[in-house]
Structure 1
């Protein structure tokens, strides 16, 4: 299932290429026919991600709400801007992890600037961070798959071949004069009015990319500390904190040296505040690089090259069962927690600082 960074990147894609445009909306599959008819011909005003939920705001107080679930994905085609990806050849992955790259230039998650940034602000931020402007020469004609794993390829389509015919079970299709977005396999795809959007947001815990305020941090800390539920379960509860999935859960707890079975109310408040800030940090890296790079000990370009190519070089504990812990002593174990595989290192995750 896509974790929070993936959905924020999808929201960025829509902000670059669809916000401000009037769109033709259809449901080639037919399962969203009524919703498509309601949205057809309206202009997209905003694109927002909160946790694993995408909200596309249309004129007329209508919002398309999408949750990709386990199998959902968006395909973009036409003149679409490539998502901000980084390669080790020019050192940009390392720079992004060490400096925050464009996120630092925007103020990053600290004031939620990225979630509200215009394409012009993003371009300026990338320039300020010393990176190549992703929009040089304008959007390229290409195809782009955005789910948990992103794939980009140059398309051979001509102007006469646009938009390309839908392929497979497309739940909803959004088409502008130059770009098309196809949604397949979502868990949720529905039209909301403002009250329904408010109701959804009220159920979700804070997301530091959406709201990095002290109030949001306090909500997280207070919610965790009022419950005896193990922290390993609370981090997967989207009403406690939005966007964390199985990989980020394992890695955050390892980085914090927290036993996943520790009751929430037993964890010192300073440790929880550091956990929140570390989630904001890793989420920002994920949004900017398109990778869940969670190891803090990557130093050289060879380290980054291997991490991009191999998952076990990218993470401390996730899917490293039986291997020696990369910090401390002992080995990584896997067990069931809340119906999901939990990876952790008992020899290391024992002593969070007060």
Structure 2
């Protein structure tokens, strides 16, 4: 499932491509046909992301809410002489045409694609935790939620009502970078550690928006610095533990471990992220 930086990058690109432009809106697949007809020939105002949710706002206080889920994609193609016929199951197509060139975007396979009001958008946002990529985010909300919970920190970081936009890659990597075991209870994570993790996520995810990939290794652990081959993985980017089960840790060389936590694989280094051992009751 795309992580939050992907949605923010997509929102930026949709805004650049379509904001303040009249668009033709259609649903070649047919599952969004009635809603598309209501939006056709209107103007896109903006697109924004909150966590893993995308909101495209049209004139008349109408909002298209998209959640890509596991298999969704929203591909933008700019500067074409003519718009080709849709290929595959296109749920939503946006087309903006100038005198000689056109831009179009095709949405395929989303978990959600619905037309809603700003109030309904607000109801979705109210259920989400703070998003490290939003300037209006309040990290204290995340810190307080974690500090009140005995659930594992590895579970809490993936809970979108606690922290919006973080997925399995950022979860594994930020825990490694701060030497926190994924099974450590939220109540046992120090406030300053959580604050440092938040700041780290802001920087890492902003870089993800800029580059379109997830890179989490520090300069001394890059392939160039270590003389190792670049990582080969479909998610892209250089990482410490994510999907590196059995491979040596870049810091201590102990094999990276993995287990299942709340139905998702979790990755960690047993030496760099020591297991939590509560103090004995006196």
Q: In 1, are the aligned partners of 2:172 and 2:267 still within 8 Å (CA)?
A: yes
In 2, Cα distance between the equivalents of 1:308 and 1:22?
44
In 2, Cα distance between the equivalents of 1:306 and 1:180?
41
Structure 2 residue 263 is matched with structure 1 residue 344: no
In 2, Cα distance between the equivalents of 1:223 and 1:282?
22
Task: Mark the runs of 5 or more structure 2 residues left unpaired by the alignment.
Answer: 277-282
- 309-318 vs 31-40, which deviates more? 309-318
- Deviation per CA, 1:69-107: give whole Å up to 9, x if none: 00000122232xxxxxxxxxxxxxxxxxxxxxxxxxxxx
| 2:153 paired residue among 231, 234, 243 | 231
* Alpha-carbon distance change, 300 to 207 in structure 1, aligned in 2, over 3 angstroms: closer
Compute the RMSD of aligned alpha carbons.
2.2
**TM-score, reference length from structure 1:** 0.72
Question: Which position in structure 1 is the counterpart of 2:279?
Answer: none
In 1, Cα distance between the equivalents of 2:86 and 2:181?
47
Question: Which secondary structure state, in structure 2, belongs to the residue aligned with residue 237 of structure 1?
Answer: coil
Question: Which position in structure 2 is the counterpart of 1:49?
Answer: 49
Structure 2 residue 190 is matched with structure 1 residue 268: yes
Structure 2 residue 57 is matched with structure 1 residue 40: no
* CA-CA distance at 1:308 after TM superposition: 6.4
Q: In 2, are the aligned partners of 1:78 and 1:163 still within 8 Å (CA)?
A: no
Question: Which position in structure 1 is the counterpart of 2:162?
Answer: 240
- Deviation per CA, 1:159-216: give whole Å up to 9, x if none: 2xx1111001000100111210000000000011011011000011111211355xx1
* Alpha-carbon distance change, 32 to 313 in structure 1, aligned in 2, over 3 angstroms: closer
Question: Which position in structure 2 is the counterpart of 1:147?
Answer: none
* Alpha-carbon distance change, 193 to 243 in structure 1, aligned in 2, over 3 angstroms: same
In 2, Cα distance between the equivalents of 1:196 and 1:313?
36
Question: Which position in structure 2 is the counterpart of 1:314?
Answer: 238
- Deviation per CA, 1:223-276: give whole Å up to 9, x if none: 111111110000110000011111111111000100111111111100000011
* Alpha-carbon distance change, 299 to 8 in structure 1, aligned in 2, over 3 angstroms: same
* CA-CA distance at 1:330 after TM superposition: 2.7
* Alpha-carbon distance change, 19 to 301 in structure 1, aligned in 2, over 3 angstroms: farther
Q: In 1, are the aligned partners of 2:223 and 2:229 still within 8 Å (CA)?
A: no
* CA-CA distance at 1:309 after TM superposition: 5.8
Question: Which secondary structure state, in structure 2, belongs to the residue aligned with residue 71 of structure 1?
Answer: coil
* Alpha-carbon distance change, 67 to 306 in structure 1, aligned in 2, over 3 angstroms: farther
* CA-CA distance at 1:307 after TM superposition: 7.7
- Deviation per CA, 1:39-83: give whole Å up to 9, x if none: 11111111101111110011101101000000000122232xxxx
Question: Which position in structure 1 is the counterpart of 2:201?
Answer: 279
In 2, Cα distance between the equivalents of 1:261 and 1:294?
21
Question: Which position in structure 2 is the counterpart of 1:59?
Answer: 59
Alignment of 1:151-190 (within 5 A): 159=81, 162-177=82-97, 178-190=102-114
Task: Mark the runs of 5 or more structure 1 residues left unpaired by the alignment.
Answer: 80-140, 142-158
The structure with higher relative contact order (CA 8 Å, sep 6+) is: 1
- 203-212 vs 280-289, which deviates more? 203-212
In 1, Cα distance between the equivalents of 2:200 and 2:136?
12
Higher helix residue share: 1
Structure 2 residue 181 is matched with structure 1 residue 259: yes
Question: Which secondary structure state, in structure 2, belongs to the residue aligned with residue 222 of structure 1?
Answer: helix
Alignment of 1:322-341 (within 5 A): 322-328=246-252, 330-341=254-265
Question: Which secondary structure state, in structure 2, belongs to the residue aligned with residue 176 of structure 1?
Answer: strand
